[in-house]
Amino acid sequence: MAAAAAASAAAAKALTNVPRSVPGLPPGVILLKGYLTMDEQIRIVLQIRELGVGPGGFYTPSYNTGARLSLRMMCMGLHWEPRTSKYEATRSSYDGATPPPIPSWLVELCGRCLGAASAAAAAAGGIQLPPLRPDICLANFYERSGRLGMHQDKDEMPDSLRAGLPVVSLSLGDAADFLYGRTREAEQASSVRLESGDVLVFGGPGRMIFHSVSRVHPHTAPRELLAATGLRPGRLNLTFRQYRARTNAP
């Protein structure tokens, strides 16, 4: 009897330790509110700042039309080129720089975030997310007027997309409105607020959702984060992904 009671208590404790995702999101889309600790947020900001001032650091990307994106971007692992919507080994349209590698501790952090999201999905009776070996990380910084239109993250290799390999997204700094839906029409999209420390994952059946950043909310970043890092007003977003499903493919 005592052993059974102890086992039951342990199981109950394990369940309470599982992160909870925001309800009402589409299958395969998991949002963990405030999952990143303040220490982790501070370390991320300081690391990205260090990488962002060197070769391959932050710049303002543009399309073939000359129109500029309303954000500053730095790529790690591979460079995403908005003029071709393809990944490449160097930043060919700007300065020819080679993107820095993803720091190993950020790869590990991405794995922990995905594990927590998968546990939350399983606890809610949802789908099991495929594993991810991230070899690409895009760091986008949105100033207070920054935004990004409705789009799909569809420029990885076809086998990666078919496998539903997830995108793991980390939010830091000011909060933002994140729109998501089945089509490119923003008027038909739903919205959720992403705040500093939130982790958003979309994979499996939710991998190809249309999404956007429609608004950044000024003066919403945690004071402790600002004091420790001097982060400029705006939102920093990191998205991890895997270029190929088979990492040893040619």
- Helix/strand/coil percent split, the chain, to 5: 30, 25, 45
Spatial neighbors of 31 by CB under 8 A, at least 6 apart, are 21, 22, 25, 192, 194, 198, 199, 200, 201
36 phi and psi angles, rounded to 5 deg: -75, 135
What's the one-letter identity of residue 3?
Answer: A
Crossing angle of helices 104-123 and 38-52, rounded to 10°: 140
* Closest C-alpha to 238, from 26, 58, 90, 24: 58
Bridge-partner residues for 76, per DSSP? 137
151 is in an annotated binding site: yes
Q: Which helix (H) or strand (E) holds 3?
A: helix 2-17
153 is in an annotated binding site: yes
Q: Provide the annotated binding site for Fe cation.
A: 151, 153, 211
Binding residues: 151, 153, 211
